[in-house]
Amino acid sequence: MPARRILTPATVFACVALIWWLAGRAGWTNAYLLPAPSTVIAALSDLVASGALLKHTLVSLQRVLLGFALSVALALPLAVLMSASRPARAVLDPLLEFIRQVPPLALIPLLILWLGIGETQKLGIIVLASFFPVFLGFRGGIAGVDPKLIEVGRIAGLTGRDILTRIVLPSALPELVVGLRISLGYSWRALVGAELIASSAGLGYMIIDAENLARTDIVLAGILVIGAIGLLSDLALRFALGRAFPWLSTDLEAARA
């Protein structure tokens, strides 16, 4: 099965590339608006050779990982607190629901005014974009714990704390995992969006800079790299989670960021 799991998507990508190449070859597309695959690959290898791609990718990756980690670090304790405490829910729920409705990219102008155009502003956008899926996933998971399993814990004489760590948290894990995967995807998208608007490095910046120089081949190369890294990071997260929690394998297939 693993061979087919790689083969099928590889074939799909190859077919798309073939159609793309044919379209250019047959003159259906404008070579400036949609450069041929070979041109894009050439641009990509130039970017690799000059080290520019590595530099921009590392900058973007570092921002994403930091922002994502910050989101998770905020979301997990807050989800536990709000699941456990009615007053915390009463106070924080309306606020968080309000913030959740505002698209993070719409806050960029405000974040630039408050946080400047440096790293803090980018982290702010990533956190805004990636906080809610982890937070809501974990809360949903906690709320969805089977009360019958909690009774098993009560019969065994577990303390409230033991019930939390030995029953509630493991029960909530499948939904948390879905939230983590969606969050990681959102972090990545929001970051590239942020880099398009105010930045001097990163993949989003690389793309917008190429657009200003009318280099559509670099724009396309950047898009390919962003998509590929998104896919790879999701795979890596699934792999790590599957290793750590083998019983989750079916849940891991369920979620798509």
Partner 1 sequence: MLELIDASRHYDVAGRTVRALDGVNEPFPAGSITTVVGRSGCGKTTLLRLLAGLTEPSSGKAHHDPARSIGVVFQEARLMPWLDVAANAAFPLKGRLDRAEIAARVDEALTLVGLADARRALPRQLSGGMAQRVAIARALAQQPDVLLLDEPFSALDAFTRRSLQRVLIDVWRQRSPTVVLVTHDVEEAVLLGDSVIEMEAGRVVGRVPVDLPFPREATDPAVVDLRRRILGRLVGGADPFAL
If we measure between CA atoms, which residue out of 27, 45, 24, 28 comes closest to residue 36? Answer: 24
Tokens of 178: 């879905």
Residue with Cβ nearer partner 1 (97 or 146): 146
> Residue from 157, 161, 243, 256 that binds partner 1 (CB under 8 A)?
157
What tokens were used for 172? 């909530």
Are 191 and 202 contacting, i.e. CB atoms less than 8 angstroms apart? yes
Between 167 and 225, whose beta carbon lies closer to partner 1?
167
Report the residue from 148, 161, 243, 256 that binds partner 1 according to the rule CB under 8 A: 148
Single residue of 129, 164, 173, 203 touching partner 1 by CB under 8 A: 173
Interface with partner 1 (CB under 8 A), residue from 10, 17, 91, 152: 152
Round to whole Å and give the CA distance between 117 and 132: 24
- Determine the angle formed by the axes of helices 203-212 and 169-197, rounding to 10 degrees: 30
Under a CB-based contact definition with an 8 Å cutoff, are residues 128 and 107 in contact? yes
Position 151 contacts partner 1 (CB under 8 A): yes
Binding mask 228-257 for partner 1 (x = CB under 8 A): -----------------xxxx-x-------
Question: Which of residues 39 and 171 has its CB atom nearest to partner 1 in the complex?
Answer: 171
Q: Verify binding: residue 167, partner 1, rule CB under 8 A.
A: yes
- CA within 13 Å, CB half, 52: 18
Type of residue at 37: P
- Which residues of this chain interact with partner 1, rule CB under 8 A? 146, 148-149, 151-152, 154-157, 162, 166-167, 170-171, 173, 245-248, 250
